Amino acid sequence: MKIHYTDRDGDVFAGRHMRKVQAKWERLSMSDLAQIKTKAELVARVEEHYGLPHEVAVRDVELWHLNRSA
């Protein structure tokens, strides 16, 4: 079962969060980072670059997002 995000999270990954994203997922290129604007886009890139099942990528991004928000 795939979980699909909507864009309700807006541009939460724009600008200031990119260093934190890159620190967590080092395989993401600067080009990847420049294109990521939402959690859904981050999930897709993590899934693609790390060869993870969709559900695992969703879980990883959600856990990271919760930890950085705490």
For the entire predicted model, the pTM comes to 0.78
Residue type, 43: V
Predicted local distance difference test score (pLDDT) of residue 6: 47
C-alpha torsion angle, residues 51, 42, 28, 18 (rounded to 10): -160
Per-domain boundaries in the chain: 11-69
| Per-residue model confidence (pLDDT) at position 65 | 86
pLDDT digits (tens, 9 = 90+) for 7-47: 455 545 656 678 889 899 999 999 999 888 888 999 999 99
Q: CB under 8 Å, gap of 24 or more: what pairs does 62-69 form?
A: 64/24, 65/39, 68/17, 68/20
Type of residue at 52: L
Domain range 11-69, CATH architecture: Orthogonal Bundle (1.10)
Strand runs (DSSP E) across the chain, as ranges?
A: none
pLDDT at 4 over 70: no
